[in-house]
Amino acid sequence: MDNNKPLSPHIQIYSWNISSLISISHRITGVINIVVLTIICFWIASFLFGNSIYVIVQNILNSFFGKFLVIGITWSFSFQILSEIRHLFWDLGYGFELKTSNISGAIVIFGSFIMTVLIYILGRQLI
Amino acid sequence: MVQINLPKNSKVQKGEYYKDKTGSKNIRKVNIYRWDPSSGKNPRIDTYEVDMDNCPSKVLDLLNKIKNEIDPSIAYRRSCAHGVCGSCAMNMDGKNGLACTKPHSEIKGDINIYPLPHLKVEKDLIGDLSTLYKQYHSVEPWLKNSKKDDGKENLQSIADRAKLDGLYECIMCACCSTSCPSYWWNGDKYLGPAVLLQAYRWIIDSRDEERKERLEKVADELKLYRCHTIMNCTNACPKGLNPAKAIASIKKMLATT
């Protein structure tokens, strides 16, 4: 009889708010960042085998798709860093009031885009 | 285990449509989750057209009106109708809350009413909260004090008493726990915001002598640390309390003592 009882709808019906949206994005960007960091390590290790792989990767990264990828990854890192700082404040016990958490959430979202642009511009100038 | 889709027997189907019979011009559509344990069928969404000219302001009034005037078979819990008992907790317009304190004018468009999320449904809008009550029992929500009864009050300083503000007001309506994705996926092991707020209420009470034991008991990868500060609990609480902060306070106490 108990198994017969249906489970009430959950994620299908529950409305999103800033904090839940950032929480799930924090997880997703975290996974992306780990994968990307691993790939970067392999990329750097590949330099040991001469410049052939370096040239191939260079060509990919300079294509439109490559640039899209780089900007996307930059955003993913920016978002993760800002969201992690927010978590650090939470761990210290600050910023739990609804208003504060909504404001800090908005800062994380907008800040991540601003940071992406800044890092990209700065990076272009360094190269 | 994260399960996004509902099990086969829980898939929601389209239900009946109750057309307005009063001829009113001020009509709103109310979609309500229905499940009859004796039918052997899947849950369905029934739609009711309700005459809003003769309906008081809260969602509970709306439900009462439907039950009294349109469809007496609909089942839901309610008692005080003043946001004190926590019986009428349900999901309205995608958010958990108390039907008796939620004005239907705050909801735009059709009014969607579901039971509290991720519970076994007993009937219609009634969810099975027995797991939550078992977990509540597990934190031993009573004062543990070795002081002998000498007929005098157990005194507490004003500052110590103030620490209980924002905790003792909790009415255990389960709006917070059932809004928490972590509690959806790990509800059998993770205690959830409501129970952890109650745990903290006894941990922080200056008159309680078992703070250390209570902290040790709750310090568990699954019981406590499944909280990832999603903050759905604080967003949902109809009493304006802050379970997320209470959980963080427990974590902080564990990290600093």
Q: What is the distance in angstroms between the Cα of A5 and the nearest Cα belonging to chain B?
A: 6
* Dist. CA B214–CA A105, nearest whole Å: 33
Q: Are B131 and B152 in contact (CB under 8 A)?
A: no
One domain for residues B135 and B243:
yes
Angle at B101 between CA B97 and CA B103, to 5 degrees: 95
> So what's the pLDDT on residue B257?
83
Residue B13 in any domain: the answer is: yes
Contacts of A12 in chain B (CB under 8 A): 6
DSSP-derived secondary structure for A21-58: HHHHHHHHHHHHHHHHHHHHHHHHHHGGG-SHHHHHHH
What are B51-68's pLDDT values in tens digits? Answer: 999 999 999 999 999 999
Secondary structure class of B240 (helix, strand, coil): coil
Residue B88 in any domain: the answer is: yes
One domain for residues B82 and B26:
yes
Q: Note the ipTM here.
A: 0.90
Would an 8 Å CB–CB cutoff place B9 in contact with chain A?
yes
One domain for residues B233 and B207:
yes
One domain for residues B118 and B20:
yes
The DSSP code for B26 is: S
What are B112-154's pLDDT values in tens digits? Answer: 999 999 999 999 999 999 999 999 999 999 999 988 888 888 8
Q: Are B47 and B77 in contact (CB under 8 A)?
A: no
Most A CBs within 10 Å, among B197, B231, B237, B250, to test the A interface: B231
Contacts of B42 in chain A (CB under 8 A): 6
Residue B1 in any domain: the answer is: no
Would an 8 Å CB–CB cutoff place B183 in contact with chain A?
no
Taking 60 as the threshold, does the pLDDT of residue A1 lie above it?
no
- Do the Cβ atoms of B121 and A10 come within 8 Å? no
Number of domains in chain B: 2
> So what's the pLDDT on residue A2?
55
Buried b (16+ CB within 10 A) or exposed e, B3-21: eeebeeebebeebeebeee
> So what's the pLDDT on residue B4?
85
Nearest to B117 among A10, A93, A101 (CB): A10
Contacts of B114 in chain A (CB under 8 A): 8-9, 13
Beta pairing, strands B89-92 & B111-114? antiparallel
One domain for residues B210 and B221:
yes
* Dist. CA A123–CA B71, nearest whole Å: 66
- Mean pLDDT of all residues in chain B? 95
Taking 70 as the threshold, does the pLDDT of residue B1 lie above it?
no
Taking 90 as the threshold, does the pLDDT of residue B163 lie above it?
yes
> So what's the pLDDT on residue B147?
84
The tally of CA atoms less than 13 A away on the side-chain side of residue A18 is 14
pLDDT mean over B1-24? 90
Taking 80 as the threshold, does the pLDDT of residue A127 lie above it?
no
- Do the Cβ atoms of B117 and A98 come within 8 Å? no
Residue B32: which domain range?
8-127
One domain for residues B242 and B140:
yes
One domain for residues B98 and B208:
no
- Is the domain A17-126 a CATH 1.20.1300.10 member? yes
User: What's the CATH number where B140 sits?
Assistant: 1.10.1060.10
Parse chain A into domains and list their residue ranges.
Answer: 17-126
Contacts of B1 in chain A (CB under 8 A): none
Would an 8 Å CB–CB cutoff place B64 in contact with chain A?
no
* Dist. CA A109–CA B176, nearest whole Å: 25
Would an 8 Å CB–CB cutoff place B87 in contact with chain A?
no
* Dist. CA A102–CA B220, nearest whole Å: 29
Q: What is the distance in angstroms between the Cα of A2 and the nearest Cα belonging to chain B?
A: 8
One domain for residues B244 and B162:
yes
One domain for residues B141 and B225:
yes
What are B189-248's pLDDT values in tens digits? Answer: 999 999 999 999 999 999 999 999 999 999 998 999 999 999 999 999 999 999 999 999
Residue B226 in any domain: the answer is: yes
Q: Are B115 and B45 in contact (CB under 8 A)?
A: no
Would an 8 Å CB–CB cutoff place B252 in contact with chain A?
yes
- Do the Cβ atoms of B33 and A9 come within 8 Å? yes
> So what's the pLDDT on residue B150?
86
One domain for residues B93 and B140:
no
> So what's the pLDDT on residue A4?
84
One domain for residues B17 and B121:
yes
What are A43-74's pLDDT values in tens digits? Answer: 999 989 888 888 999 999 999 999 999 999 99
pLDDT mean over B97-126? 96
pLDDT mean over B97-122? 96
One domain for residues B31 and B118:
yes
pLDDT mean over A113-117? 96
Element housing A116 (H / E):
helix A98-126
At residue A38, φ and ψ (nearest 5 deg) are -60, -45
Residue B55 in any domain: the answer is: yes
Residue B77 in any domain: the answer is: yes
> So what's the pLDDT on residue A123?
87
Secondary structure class of B182 (helix, strand, coil): helix
Would an 8 Å CB–CB cutoff place B44 in contact with chain A?
no
User: What's the CATH number where B75 sits?
Assistant: 3.10.20.30
